[in-house]
């Protein structure tokens, strides 16, 4: 992740490093003391990582620990931060909105998943006060960042076929926001641009 003059990276073994964007030189390195998953997210004076045990760890841009917060399951994608809210997607398809100042839960979004779905590390995209995320079953949703309320839900692909495997229509990549359109791609190749 990149924020200001810093580039942040992590390793599965728990290392978090800040590099200088101009020179590539290491500014600092800390170890979280546990394994990390899903990559690193960064925002104004905030460096965020997740763990396989569902912990979200926040550091300041000097590598000092700020807070820890527990979510429902493994963090498979990099946490995002915008507007004072940290958005974390857990492995069980729940999306959490945490207070960026102290890690306290502000909201949670959850939905029922189909019997068979793909394990996906797709996270969320935040743009214009909205959180966009794709789900199993071919659904794309827009959630308001401030309170976690669903603004809309759209179908990118409809599950079809005789077997559970044929009916997989999961959105397994990040949505792409381009102006007034949000694009999403489902597992079986369907692409949609949604207003």
Give 146-167 pLDDT, tens digit per residue.
Answer: 999 999 998 887 777 777 777 6
* pLDDT value of residue 118: 62
* pLDDT value of residue 117: 60
Give me the mean pLDDT over the 82-100 stretch.
94
Q: Which letter, b or e, does each residue of 162-179 get, where b requires 16 or more Cβ atoms within 10 Å of its Cβ?
A: eeeeebbbbbbbbbeeee
CA-to-CA distance for 62 and 16, rounded, in angstroms? 11
Over 80: is that where the pLDDT of 119 sits? no
Give me the mean pLDDT over the 23-40 stretch.
94
What pTM did the predictor assign?
0.89
Over 90: is that where the pLDDT of 34 sits? yes
């Amino acid at each position: 992740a990149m924020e200001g003059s810093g580039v942040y990276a992590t390793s599965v073994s728990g290392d978090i490093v800040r590099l200088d964007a101009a020179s590539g030189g290491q500014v600092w390195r800390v170890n979280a003391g546990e394994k990390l998953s899903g990559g690193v997210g960064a925002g104004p004076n905030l460096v965020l990582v997740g763990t396989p045990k569902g912990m979200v760890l926040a550091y300041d841009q000097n590598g000092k620990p700020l807070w820890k917060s527990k979510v429902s399951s493994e963090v498979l994608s990099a946490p995002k931060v915008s507007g004072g809210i940290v958005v974390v997607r857990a492995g069980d398809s729940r999306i959490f909105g945490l207070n960026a100042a102290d890690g306290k839960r502000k909201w949670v979004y959850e939905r029922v998943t189909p019997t068979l779905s793909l394990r996906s590390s797709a996270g969320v995209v935040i743009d214009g006060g909205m959180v966009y995320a794709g789900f199993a079953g071919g659904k794309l949703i827009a959630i308001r960042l401030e309170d976690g309320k669903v603004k809309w839900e759209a179908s990118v692909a409809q599950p079809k076929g005789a077997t559970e495997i044929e009916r997989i229509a999961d959105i397994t990549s990040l949505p792409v926001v381009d102006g007034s359109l949000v694009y999403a791609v489902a597992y079986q190749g369907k692409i949609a641009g949604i207003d």
